[in-house]
Amino acid sequence: MASRIKTNAEKYIVCPFCSLHCDDILSKSDGKKYSISSEASKVSEANKTCLKKIESFNINAKSILTPTIKNKKANLSSALKYTRQILKKQKDAIIVNHGIDVSGVRSMLNFALNYNCSIDHINSKFLYQNIGIVQRTGYMATSLTETKNRGDVIIVFGNNILCKTPRLIEKVLIPSNSLCTNAKNKKIIFIGEFPDKLLKNLSKKYNISYIKTKIDYIPDLLNLLSDIGSIKIPNISKALVTKIKPIISKSKYLVATWSASDFINSKNPDKIIQAISQFILDRNKISRAACMPISGSLGDTTSSQTLTWLTGFPSRIKYAHGSFVHDRNIYNNEIIIDKKNTDVVIHISSLSPNKIKINENLKNIFIGHPNSKFTSQPDVFIPVGIPGIDYEGIMFRTDNVVSVALKKIRAINLPTTKEILDELT
Amino acid sequence: MNIKLESGNIFDPQNNIFNKKMDLYIADGKIISKKNIKGKINKIINCSNKIVMPGAIDMHTHIGGGKVNIARLMLEDFHIENNKNFDSSSIIAPSTIKTGLKYIEMGYTTCFEPALLPVNARQAHSEMADIPFIDKGGYALLGNDDFFLDLLRKKASQSMINDYVAFILNATQSIGIKVVNPGGINAFKFNQRALNVDEKSKYYNITPRDIISKLTQSIYDLGIAHPLHVHCSNLGIPGNYLSTIETIKAANSLPIHLTHIQFHSYGNNGDKAFSSASVEISNFLNKIPNLTCDVGQIMFGQTVTMSGDSMSQYRNHNHAHPKKWMCMDIECDAGCGIVPFKYKDKSFVNALQWVIGLEIFLLAEDPWKIFLTTDHPNGAPFTSYPHLIKLLMDRSFRNDILKQLPKSIRDHSILHTLKREYSLNEIAIMTRAAPARILGLQNKGNFSEGSDADITIYDKNNKDIENMFAHPIMVLKDGKVVVENGKVKNYLWGKTQTIKPEYDASIEKVLNKFFDRYHTMKLDNYIITESEMSNLIGSEIVTNKCKYERKQ
Amino acid sequence: MRPLVLQLKHKLSYRLDMSFLSDFNKLKSLTKLKDKKIIYGSQEIMLKELFNISGSNMKNIIIKKASSLMDNIGKNIEDLSIKVYGNVGYAFGAHMINGELTLYGNTLDYTASGLKGGNIMIFGSVGKYFCGKPNASNEGIKDGLVYVKGNVGDNSIQRMRRGVVIIEGNVGDYACDEMISGTVIIKGIVGKCFGKNIKRGTLFVKDKKLTKNYVKSNNAKYNFIDFYLKTLFKIIGKKIIKNNSLIRFYGNKDVNNMSEVFLIKN
Nearest to B401 by CA among B440, B351, B330, B436: B351
C25 touches chain A (CB under 8 A): no
Is there a contact between C137 and B323 if contact means CB atoms under 8 Å apart? no
Angle between helices B121-129 and B66-74 (to 10 degrees): 70
Q: Is B23 exposed, middle or buried (0-12, 13-18, 19+ CB in 10 A)?
A: middle
Query: DSSP character for B432?
Result: I
Nearest to B189 among A106, A288, A312 (CB): A288
> Is B80–C136 a contact, with Cβ atoms under 8 angstroms apart?
yes
Name chain C contacts of B76, Cβ cutoff 8 Å. 135-136
How far apart (Å, rounded) are the C-alpha atoms in residues B118 and B58?
Answer: 21
Half-sphere exposure (Cβ direction) of B395: Cα atoms closer than 13 Å: 10
Query: What count of CB pairs under 8 Å joins A to C?
Result: 73
Are the Cβ atoms of A138 and B74 closer than 8 angstroms? Answer: yes
Tell me what pLDDT residue B388 has.
Answer: 97
CA distance between the termini of chain A? 21
Angstrom distance (rounded) from CA B241 to CA A77: 68
Q: What percent of chain A has pLDDT over 90?
A: 76
Q: What is the pLDDT of residue A6?
A: 62
Residues near B13 by beta carbon (within 8 Å), at least 6 away in sequence: B425, B428, B429, B432, B433, B434, B446
Q: How far is CA B325 from CA A222, B74, B97, C178, in A?
A: 22, 8, 25, 19
User: For position B84, what pLDDT does the model report?
Assistant: 57
- 10 Å Cβ neighbour count for A359? 16
Chain B within 8 Å of A107 (Cβ-Cβ)? no
Contact C134 B322 (CB under 8 A): no
Kindly state whether C178 is in contact with chain A, defined as any CB-CB distance less than 8 angstroms: no
Give C59-101 pLDDT, tens digit per residue: 999 999 999 999 999 999 998 999 999 999 999 999 999 999 9
Characterize the bridge pairing of strands A393-396 and A403-406. antiparallel
Residues of A in contact with C39 (CB under 8 A): 116, 318, 320-321, 325
For residue C61, what pLDDT is reported?
95
pLDDT band with cut points at 50, 70 and 90 for residue C150: very high
Note whether B248 and B288 are within 8 A (CB). Answer: yes
Q: What is the pTM of this model?
A: 0.95
Strands A288-291, A253-257: parallel, antiparallel or unpaired by DSSP?
Answer: parallel
Predicted pLDDT at C224 = 82
Interface test with chain A among C11, C15, C130, by most A beta carbons within 10 Å:
C15
| A375-393 pLDDT tens trace | 999 999 999 999 999 999 9
Task: Tell me which chain C residue has its CA closest to the CA of residue B324.
Answer: C138
Q: For residue A47, what are the contacts with CB-CB under 8 A and spacing of at least 6? A: A38, A41, A166, A167, A170
CA of A58, closest CA in chain C: separation in Å?
Answer: 38
Task: Kindly list the residues from chain A whose CB atom is less than 8 angstroms away from the CB atom of residue B328.
Answer: 140-143, 290, 401
Reply yes or no on whether the pLDDT at A329 is more than 60. yes
B365 to chain C, any CB pair closer than 8 A? The answer is no
Mutate to test the interface with A, among B202, B520, B522, B537 (most CBs of A within 10 A): B520
CA distance linking residue B510 with residue B518, whole number of Å: 12
Nearest to C90 among A137, A320, A329 (CB): A329
Q: List CB contacts (< 8 A) between B322 and chain C.
A: 137-139
Q: Do C135 and B322 touch (CB under 8 A)?
A: no
**DSSP letter, residue C263:** E
Q: CATH: 1.10.630.10, 3.30.1280.10, 2.160.20.60, 3.40.50.720. Which one for C63-264? A: 2.160.20.60
Rounded Cα gap, residues B493 and A116, in angstroms:
24
Q: Which residues of C touch A330 (CB under 8 A)?
A: 15, 17, 71-72, 90
Collect all residues of chain B within an 8 Å Cβ-Cβ radius of residue A149: 146, 332, 518
Q: Is residue B430 a contact partner of residue B370, using CB atoms and an 8 Å limit? A: yes
If pLDDT is split at 50, 70 and 90, which confidence band does A322 have?
Answer: confident
Distance from CA of C116 to the nearest CA of B (A): 15
Q: Do A14 and B327 touch (CB under 8 A)?
A: no
State whether residue C43 sits within 8 Å of chain A by CB: yes
pLDDT at C228 over 80: yes
Report CA torsion sign: A12, A184, A398, B323.
Answer: negative
Q: Mean pLDDT in chain A?
A: 91
Residues on chain B touching A108 (C-beta within 8 angstroms): none
pLDDT tens, position by position, B507-521: 999 999 999 999 999
Mean pLDDT, chain B, whole residue set: 95
Q: What angle do CA B238, B240, B246 make, to 5 degrees?
A: 165
Q: Mean pLDDT over residues C216-231, rounded? A: 80
Looking at CA atoms only, how far is residue A32 from chain B in angstroms? 23
Q: Where are the domains of chain A?
A: 68-123+297-388+414-424, 128-291
- Helix%, strand%, coil% for chain B, nearest 5: 40, 20, 40
> A290 — phi, psi (to 5°)?
-160, 160
> C13 CB near a chain A CB, below 8 Å?
yes
Residue of A nearest to B86 (CA): A323
d(CA B258, CA B532): 32
Which H or E run includes B142? strand B135-142
Cα–Cα distance for residue pair B395/B415, rounded to 1 Å: 10
Find how far residue A132's CA is from the centre of its chain: 17
pLDDT at A2: 41
> What's the pLDDT score for residue C206?
92
Taking an 8 Å cut-off on Cβ atoms, the answer to whether A148 and B518 are in contact is yes
B2-54+455-488: which CATH topology?
Answer: Urease, subunit C; domain 1 (2.30.40)
What is the C-alpha separation between B230 and B178, in angstroms, rounded? Answer: 6
Q: Can you tell me the mean pLDDT for A103-114? A: 95
**Angstrom distance (rounded) from CA B51 to CA B56:** 13
pLDDT above 90 for A267: no
The hierarchical CATH code for the domain A68-123+297-388+414-424 is: 3.40.50
- DSSP assignment, residue A184? G
Reported as a pLDDT band with limits 50, 70 and 90, residue C226 is: confident
Ranges B139-143, B181-185, C41-45: which has the least confidence: C41-45
Q: Where are the alpha helices (DSSP H) in B195-342?
A: 208-222, 241-250, 278-287, 310-315
Strands B455-459 and B474-477 turn out to be antiparallel
- State whether B324 and C139 contact (CB < 8 Å): no
Question: In A, residues 5-24, which contact B (CB 8 Å cutoff)?
Answer: 12, 14, 20-21, 23-24
Q: What is the CATH number of domain A128-291?
A: 3.40.228.10
Query: HSE-up of B172 (CA within 13 Å, CB side)?
Result: 30
3-state SS of A18-48? CCCCCCCEEEEECCCCEEECCCCCCCCHHHH
Residue ranges per structural domain of chain C: 63-264
Higher pLDDT, A372 or A43: A372
Domain ranges of chain B: 2-54+455-488
Check CB contact under 8 Å for A312 and B72: yes
Q: What is the pLDDT of residue B100?
A: 95
% of residues, chain B, pLDDT over 90: 95
Residues A329, C110: C-beta atoms closer than 8 Å = yes
- Orientation of helix A300-311 relative to helix A102-115, angle to 10°: 50
Contacts of B477 (CB under 8 A, 6+ apart): B55, B104, B109, B133, B134, B454, B492, B494
At A1, the pLDDT band (50, 70, 90 cuts) reads very low
Element (H, E) at B466: helix B465-470
Question: B115, exposed or middle or buried, with CB in 10 Å at 0-12, 13-18, 19+?
Answer: buried
- Work out the minimum CA distance from B76 to partner chain C, whole angstroms: 6
> Residue A324 is nearest to which of B83, B536, B537, comparing CB atoms?
B83
The three-state secondary structure class of B300 is coil
The 3-state DSSP class for residue B163 equals helix
Residues in chain B within 8 Å Cβ distance of C139: 322
Task: Kindly tell me if the per-residue pLDDT of B88 is higher than 80.
Answer: no
Cβ contact C135–A116 (<8 Å): no
CB–CB of C186/C244 below 8 Å?
no
Phi (first) and psi of residue A43, to 5 degrees:
-85, 130
Residues of B whose CB is below 8 A from A142: 328-330
Could you tell me if C90 and C71 are in contact, meaning their C-beta atoms sit under 8 angstroms apart?
A: yes
Give the rounded percent of residues in chain A with a pLDDT score beyond 70. Answer: 96
Contact A320 C13 (CB under 8 A): no
- C 72-111 residues inside an 8 A Cβ radius of A: 72, 89-91, 108-110
- Give the mean pLDDT of chain C: 91
